[in-house]
Amino acid sequence: MTINSITITGAIFILNFALSQGKSLGSGPLSVRVASLATLFAAFLVVLAWINWRGLVLIDRHTYKRIREIEKTLGMQGHSAIFRELSGSRLYKARFWLGDLFYAIVFSASMGATFFLSLT
């Protein structure tokens, strides 16, 4: 998750810099072409973080399944009991689609900035 934090923070920083320093929005040192390419790079960083996050969710699900199998074999309950308690919670269910929503919003902002800068 640290990689995701770094890439998303970098993407937002690049977006901020490209939009605030671009000549299309005022008198900035960046040309429109450079600012547009910077926002496209920010979109790439968001996609990279999004793919990494989806992979972590997939690994997380397989790990939980394997832990449940081991607990059944040993005749004990640990993670499976905690999972049963958490799985009914709305917040637990929402964490999957909220992550996708967050990445979709940042990706849309990156692509929107790219299109905006390419039109000016």
Is 117 or 45 the better-scoring residue by pLDDT?
A: 45
User: Across all residues in the chain, what is the average pLDDT?
Assistant: 84
Question: For residue 30, what are the β-bridge partners?
Answer: 22
Give the model's pLDDT for residue 42: 93
Determine the residue type at 56: L
Give the distance, in angstroms, between the CA of residue 118 and the centroid of all CA atoms in the same chain: 24
Q: Supply the DSSP symbol for 24.
A: G
Radius of gyration in angstroms for the set of CA atoms belonging to the chain, rounded to a whole number: 20
pLDDT band at residue 78, thresholds of 50, 70 and 90?
confident
Alpha helices, H only, 23-89:
32-74, 79-87
What does each C-alpha distance from 92 to 62, 81, 98, 102 come to in angstroms? 17, 15, 10, 16
> 61: burial class by Cβ within 10 Å (0-12, 13-18, 19+)?
exposed
How many structural domains is the chain composed of? Answer: 1
Give the model's pLDDT for residue 7: 93
Q: pTM above the 0.75 mark?
A: yes
Which structural domain, as residue segments, surrounds residue 109? 2-119
Two tokens, residue 102 = 């967050």
Give the model's pLDDT for residue 57: 85
